[in-house]
Amino acid sequence: MSSKKVGMFVVTPYFKQKGLSLVLPTAHVTSFRVVQRTSNFCQSFFFSFSFRLSHCRFVQCKLNSIRSSFELAVSLIPFVVLWVLACWVAQYSYLAAFAISAANGLFLLRLFCIQHDCGHGSFYGNRDVSDWVGRALGVVTLTPYDVWRRTHSIHHSHAGDLDQRGIGDVMTLTVEEYHQRTAFGRFMYRAYRHPFVMFGLGPTYLFILQNRLPLGLMNQGRKYWISAMGTNLAILTILGTIIYFGGFQALFLVFLPTTLIAASIGVWLFYVQHQFETTHWEQKADWQLHEAALHGSSHYDLPPILRWFTANIGIHHVHHLYSRIPFYRLTEVLRDHNELIEVSRMTIAQSIKCASLDLWDEKSKRLISFAAAHKLAA
């Protein structure tokens, strides 16, 4: 079995016969074995991902930090520049200010994706540096970093597990669960899954209101309360500064459009990463972490410019297999292992269909629409 060096990394895949297993052999080399097994075939992929630490650990961390700092700079600097520009333009044209702010939502989205890598410890070699960068970005993205990191960790640990739903995921009912609900319960679930709520009202509620409290972790210690309240205090300070210098027009023409557009796109991305027809859900007894990672996460094949703004988060199946891979290395895994390109791959046009998929059918192992579920019940 041969290995391929990819920049500072080595990529080498291999499969086991039962499901997927992950092996983390040493502190210097991280490799993992992936096994894909379907009813029609069993196909082997061999790949691993590791830091090449043959040189001094300090040198390697420094090199990694330089690339990470560059990615942070080319995201944060344009974001601040466009923010200031939009505030200045607002004196002359509300429409132009709104347009600049809307476009700036893409840079805010990229900053959230960098915060996401910080949460996984894949942005800087030093975990403390990653965490404090993540906390600072959390103020900009209106997301208490330590609260989000914990709920997101739960998401990674239980994605696709029907017995572990409710934290860090999109609420998904099985067909049977949906039919067992009262009429009002079914109405509320249909409302929740409606595109206007899911990608419009939902992101606004999530980032403006829900993130103000450590929901789901309120009894898990003061750490999460400190994270939420500390972030809230920093946000209030920034909002006060914005209103003091730019007035309420800066708030409504710059801050809100940038934030809400980034939030809506971000929720859409998270949705299509796991809510597609052939995604993976199993009861706890049959659920396997790495099988769920490979088959329950999509490869959202975006145009290059959108891949850049989304920090390659569309290569989500590889990310779930091993979340310590920096986002700027994910494309290299696909480049050297073409087998992974077509796994749960979807284009923008194909992803539109995902918005109409609402219920998990345990018999067909498919995510289906309300209309399809109604036919099954007839």
pLDDT tens for the chain, 378 residues: list them.
333 333 333 333 323 332 333 333 222 223 333 333 333 322 334 334 333 333 334 444 444 889 999 999 999 999 999 999 999 999 999 999 999 999 999 999 999 999 999 999 999 989 999 999 999 999 999 999 999 999 999 999 999 999 999 888 999 999 999 999 999 999 999 999 999 999 999 999 999 999 999 999 999 989 999 999 999 999 999 999 999 988 999 999 999 999 999 999 999 999 999 999 999 999 999 999 989 999 999 999 999 999 999 999 999 999 999 999 999 999 999 998 888 999 999 999 999 999 999 999 999 999 999 999 998 876
Structure confidence at residue 64 (pLDDT)? 80
Residue type, 71: E
Tokens of 337: 């292992």
- Given this model, what pLDDT does residue 337 score? 86
pLDDT of residue 22: 32
Residue for token pair 């003091």: 244
| d(C-alpha 312, C-alpha 326), whole Å | 10
The Cα–Cα gap between 292 and 279 comes to: 8
Residue type, 20: L
- What are φ and ψ of residue 10, in 5° steps? -125, 135
End-to-end CA distance of the chain: 53
- At position 208, the amino acid (one-letter code) is I
Joined tokens for residue 126? 């030093």
Q: What is the pLDDT of residue 109?
A: 98
What value does the CA radius of gyration of the chain take, rounded to a whole number of Å?
A: 21
- Residue 55's Cβ-count burial label (10 Å; 0-12, 13-18, 19+) is exposed
Q: Which two tokens stand for residue 291?
A: 């099988």
Best CA proximity match to 43, nearest among 337, 366, 332: 337
Rounded Cα distance between 124 and 67, Å, is 9
Give the pLDDT confidence score for residue 273 in this predicted structure. Answer: 97
Q: Determine the pLDDT at residue 250.
A: 93
pLDDT score at 48: 41
Task: Give pLDDT, residue 6.
Answer: 34
pTM: 0.85
What pLDDT score was predicted for residue 10? 34
Residues β-bridged to residue 6: 9
